[in-house]
Amino acid sequence: MTGKITLEVTRYHPERDKEPGLQTYEVPLRKEWVVLDALNYVKDKVDGSLSFRWSCRMGICGSCGMMVNGEPKLTCATFLGDYAPGPIRVEPMKNFPILRDLIVEVSDFLVKLGKAKPWLIREEERPLTEGEFLQTPAQLDTFKQFSMCINCLLCYAACPVYGLDPLFSGPAAIALAQRYNADSRDQGAQERLDILSHSDGIWACTFVGECTEVCPKDVDPAGAIQQYKLTAAKEWMKSFLMPWGRR
C-alpha cells in the first residue's frame, strides 16, 4: 500500500479560536499504520502544535479515544487502510467539552465514577489473618465482563442520552457499579443504589444500546445497566412490600 491519505483534523485553541475548525494534513498511507501513527507523524514532521492524548498504543490504557469519520474509536486500533482512499475526519470525542484540538475535558465522568464507588465495600474489614477471599469461577463469571472496562469513554461519546442530559451517570460508571454489586466479595450494593437509583442515574437510560456497540473491550455496558435496573426494581418492590427487612 503506497501513496498518501488526507486527514481532516479538528483544531481548537481556546485563546485564539471562537470555535473549532478542521485542518487538513497529508500523511503516508502505510499498510500497518493506525490513525494514531498518522497523528504522531503530523506532530513529528508537519505541525508540532497538534495536541492529542495517547499512551500505550495497544488498546489497554483508554487514552486515545476520538471520533473517526463520526464514530467513536480508539485511534491506536483503527487502521488507515480501512478508510482508503479517504479523507479521514478525526474529531475529539462527542458529548464532552473540547479543551484543545483533539483533547476533551473528562472530569464530569471522573466525578460520576466516584459516585459509583468502584471499590469493594465491606461492612467490616476482613483481617489479614483470615486469609484471602475465596471465589469460584462461576462467581467470577457474574462480573468479569464488566471489569474489563478501560475507561476509554467511547461509550459516553456514543450515548445520545449522555449528550442530551448532562446529569446522566453514563454507561461506564453504571457498568462499574454493577461490576462491584455483582462481586461476591462486595457488600456495598445498598450504598450504591442510594446514589444511582434516581431519575438521572440509571433510569435516564433508554437502552439505545450504542454503548455496547462501540466498546472496544466487549464490556456490554447496556447489559450491565439493564441488570442494574432489574436489581433496583426488585429492591424497590421489596422495600415497598416488606419495609421491615431493609438492611
Distance CA 51, CA 104 (A): 11
Q: Please report whether residue 51 would count as binding another protein according to CB under 8 A.
A: no
Binding mask 145-184 for another protein (x = CB under 8 A): ---------------xx-xxx-------------------
- Give the residue, chosen from 149, 210, 215, 216, that forms a contact with another protein under the rule CB under 8 A: 210
Question: Should residue 209 be labelled a site residue for another protein when binding is judged by CB under 8 A?
Answer: yes
Residue with smaller CB distance to another protein, 38 or 177: 177
Q: How far is the CB of 54 from another protein (least distance, A)?
A: 20
Q: Is 99 in the site for another protein (CB under 8 A)?
A: yes
Q: Rank residues 165 and 186 by Cβ distance to another protein and give the closer one.
A: 165
CB 84 within 8 A of CB 29: yes
* Alpha helix positions (H), the chain: 35-41, 107-115, 137-141, 154-158, 160-164, 171-181, 189-196, 210-214, 221-241
Q: Between 142 and 187, whose beta carbon lies closer to another protein?
A: 142
Q: Does the footprint of another protein cover residue 70 (CB under 8 A)?
A: yes
By C-beta, is 42 or 67 nearer to another protein? 67
Contacts made by residues 47-55, CB under 8 angstroms, sequence distance 24+: 47/23, 50/9, 50/11, 50/101, 50/102, 51/100, 51/101, 51/102, 51/103, 52/101, 52/102, 52/103, 53/102, 53/103
Q: Is 27 in the site for another protein (CB under 8 A)?
A: no
